[in-house]
Amino acid sequence: MIRPSWGYPLKYQLFLFYLIWFVSGVVLAQSTNKFTEYKSLTKRVYNFTKVEFITEEGEFNDAICTLLIPDLHEDSPPLVVIYYKRTNSQWFTESLYRKRVRFSFRDGVVKLERSNFWAWHELEEIKVVIFY
């Protein structure tokens, strides 16, 4: 028995259908709005020089690990970024090395873990930036 030819075999038709479906999904899913601006965000920058984060005894000053932010809400977690500057170098950030900053927050207090401040004795300046 001779089968009628309907163009391409069924598997090629299905492949072509899925290819068109995938390409149209990729093209139509792209957004022209590349970012969303939140005007209600607050940014705080805490700047510590070597004199402030090293005590007179030459130890790390744990007081910079506790930051008071009275208008911080429990239901809105902050974004915390730590920037470092070594002597005669450019700024660099914790996320390049450890991928995240460890902290806890409650009742308007952000408590940074001391382990975030690695190699603190080599640093010249520290900036802690908090968005909430």
Which of 98, 114, 105 is CA-nearest to residue 64? 114
The C-alpha atoms of residue 42 and residue 72 are separated, in whole angstroms, by 10
For residue 106, what pLDDT is reported? 84
Q: Is 1 within a domain? A: no
Q: Specify the number of domains making up the chain.
A: 1
pTM (global) more than 0.75: no
Residue 31 in this model has a pLDDT that exceeds 90: no
For residue 95, what pLDDT is reported? 56
pLDDT in tens, 68-81: 988 887 777 888 88
Q: Is 14 within a domain? A: no
Phi, psi of 28 (to 5 degrees): -75, -20
Q: Is 62 within a domain? A: yes
Q: Is 20 within a domain? A: no
Place of tokens 């259908």: 17
Angstrom CA distances, 105 to 32, 77, 114, 117, stand at: 36, 8, 15, 18
Could you tell me the pLDDT band of residue 94, with boundaries at 50, 70 and 90?
low
Name the CA dihedral angle for 105, 110, 111, 112, rounded to a multiple of 10 degrees. Answer: 110
**Domain that residue 106 falls in:** 43-131
The C-alpha atoms of residue 128 and residue 46 are separated, in whole angstroms, by 5
Q: Is 13 within a domain? A: no
Q: Is 85 within a domain? A: yes
Q: Is 123 within a domain? A: yes
1-10, 16-25, 29-38, 39-48: the lowest-pLDDT one: 1-10
* Residue 44, helix vs strand vs coil: strand
For residue 6, what pLDDT is reported? 58
Q: Is 6 within a domain? A: no
